[in-house]
Structure 1
């Protein structure tokens, strides 16, 4: 008997991947924030000090990128939810035609 392939509709597959990205975003941001202590010199490298302002800029940029990415993902998910609800509602689908 041939193996049946699992078919996932493209729209639901993309929505699931976007939700996976939403779930991974906090983890990614945490990892990027944990890099900050690695930016400071150790041992013999003390002469090459890193300014605190540079580390603060790094944290601020990561924070702003996280906000922007979460907003963009939210808008895409909201848009795809709206398309799904319009496709499932026969009254609205008939009104658009």
Structure 2
């Protein structure tokens, strides 16, 4: 079963990029969740003096990851919405 001689060997660039972007949209919540789990690996108050991470740093990190996730989600949404609109026009 060979391909017909006129069929392209690779996908179009636009559809390939769109599929990879949709993969990124699907992977983003898992990636943000993984970054949220990082503070669980940090030393706790029972650790030797000076080794523990202050709660203020942990909270800044958690909310920073949360904010970065929202911004990335918005940017990916805008880009995919633009590509969907372009495909609808074609």
TM-score (norm 1): 0.77
Once the two structures are superposed, residues 70-89 of structure 1 have per-residue CA deviations (whole angstroms, 9 ceiling, x without a partner) of 000000000001111111xx
Displaced runs of 4+ in structure 1, greater than 4 A? 1-5
Matched, 1:18 2:21: yes
Q: Give the match for residue 9 of structure 1.
A: 12
Matching residue of 1:92: none
The gaps in structure 1 that reach 5 residues or longer are 88-97
Shift of 1:46: 2.4
Provide the alpha-carbon RMSD of the alignment. 2.3
> Cα deviation per residue 1:10-60 (whole Å; 9 max; x = unaligned)?
1111110000000110111111111111122486x4202221010000000
Counterpart CA distance in 1 for 2:9 and 2:43 is 50
Larger of the two Rg values belongs to structure: 1
1:78 to 81, 84, 87: 81
TM-score normalized with structure 2 length: 0.83
- Which structure carries more helix by proportion? 1
Gaps of 5+ in 2: none
